[in-house]
Structure 1
Amino acid sequence: MLKVTLLGASLLVAQASGQSTFRCPEKDGYFEDQVQCDKYYDCFDGIAEDRLCPDGLVFDPFSRKREPCDHYFNVDCGDRLELQTPKGPSDLCPRLNGFYAHPDPSVCHIFYACVDGVAEEYTCSSGLWFDEFSGVCNWPEVTDRKECKADAYALETNSGFQCPERGPVDEFGQFDPHPKYADPNDCAKFFICLNGISPREQGCELGLVYNEFTKQCDAPENVPECKDYYAFLEDDKNTSSNNRKRK
């Protein structure tokens, strides 16, 4: 009974002094909490103190920084899923720090970087959506976001190309989610229509042209209408060869 009473008294003393009941595995260092990902313990000479990362950041056990906290997408929290109560001041910054999607789930190309509760707005490049799990803009099919509106996309290239309303189907009657189309004005270029909506201009490597039947870049001789596309290269090569012979 006396032992239990002394143990309880020692816990009260530790709490009152700001010390933790955590047992340090080593005399000095930072160590993770087993339940809460943004909580850790600062051990000095075998005595632990509870620490919390700034709201929105989590503890990185491999960090060599003075404050060992980082963005959640840079840290594997494993089963330590609990977090401190959010202190964010607005819908744009649900927590004081971090990267967050637009509060309207249908707006996928805009996101916010929050530092101490102050939000700065950013816009993804055309055809990309913000992915909160990775903290970056990514291809739509990678983000797994289902409520995005089509008007978040750019619907026309600088050259004026727009994706057809109905994309092509394969031999099994399935629609390609990102169909490709030949550039009618340039054999070495083609367009990818992201989600069948947003066109993105692409180009083949030098010496190749786009084959709209195989849907990939190919040798010019395999695309009859483009077989002479690189004829100027042959002319330049022959001219150079003749000049060398004259010398």
Structure 2
Amino acid sequence: MLKCVIVFVFVTGISAQFKCPQRTGFFPDPEECDLYYLCSQGEYEEKLCPDGLVFDDKDPNHERCDIPANVDCGDRTVLQEPKPSKGCPRANGYYRHPDANACDKFYNCVDGEPNELACPPGLIYDDIDSTCAWPSDSKRKDCFKSKKDSLDDGFQCPDGDTEGPNGSKLPHPTFAHPDDCQKFYICRNAVMPQKGSCSAGKVYNEETFTCDDPANVPGCEDYYEKKKKN
């Protein structure tokens, strides 16, 4: 009787397996920026950031995925396949508005859902740093160049009417300064930009379009205390 011998051949993958640098902690993949590993007692578990976010490897004791602008991936240049949707090149993160002329708007994508946001008046969205910036400071050079009057810091009066607290059109609307609670901007006849400043002890309230007590303006409560320390 002829006997058949069946031989099973197991082929080991040629790619090297991940080795935990320490017995416990979270560690980056050497090539893929959104791939990382949870090491426990020397054994590892592969983990992947949500699409659009990358692994922040600054502290092995903390598991953190963040937007690429906040993480230095170095040589970890590989990313997972994107999961795009309308308005979102990837499922999560901040992205420029599809309208090339809407430089002051951008999308915040969360799980593939785009949420349109606007920069403070005079600023444009810089998609390299994922933040709003003055046009003169922005790394974004492809933005629509407006011929409107602008101040030395880049502020321009926004297009369209501005409604006051009672819903009426403001002939000379004012706007908050993005970095200084005491300062604001005035748009004479809604088109001519000028700088303004509240008197000492007051801050600008963008809800009432007036100078107000710091306690009435969220985020500016400690403005003068911090100013004294600086």
Match of 1:146 in 2: 141
Match of 1:219 in 2: none
Displacement of 1:28? 1.2
Match of 2:172 in 1: 159
Normalised TM-score (structure 1): 0.54
Secondary structure of 1:140's aligned partner: coil
Displacement of 1:105? 2.8
Secondary structure of 2:136's aligned partner: helix
Displacement of 1:42? 1.5
In structure 1, list runs of 5 or more residues that go unmatched: 1-5, 161-188, 193-197, 208-247
Secondary structure of 2:69's aligned partner: helix
Give CA deviations for 1:154-188 in whole Å, capped at 9, x if unaligned: 3689638xxxxxxxxxxxxxxxxxxxxxxxxxxxx
Q: Residues 158 and 56 of structure 1: is their aligned pair in 2 closer, same or farther, counting only changes over 3 Å?
A: farther
Normalised TM-score (structure 2): 0.58
Alignment equivalent of 1:78, drawn from 57, 70, 74: 74
Bigger radius of gyration, 1 or 2? 1
- Matching residue's letter, 1:129: I
Q: Is 116-125 or 133-142 further displaced after alignment?
A: 133-142
Match of 1:234 in 2: none
Q: Does the 8 A contact of 2:122 with 2:158 survive in 1?
A: no
Q: Residues 190 and 37 of structure 1: is their aligned pair in 2 closer, same or farther, counting only changes over 3 Å?
A: closer
Cα distance in 1, alignment partners of residues 98 and 59 from structure 2 = 31
Identity of aligned residues (%): 40
Displacement of 1:60? 0.6
- Matching residue's letter, 2:75: D
- Matching residue's letter, 1:159: H
Q: Does 1:34 align with 2:30?
A: yes
Greater percentage in helix: 1
Alignment equivalent of 2:49, drawn from 53, 56, 72: 53
Displacement of 1:7? 9.6
Q: Does 1:87 align with 2:83?
A: yes
- Matching residue's letter, 2:172: S
RMSD, aligned CA? 3.7
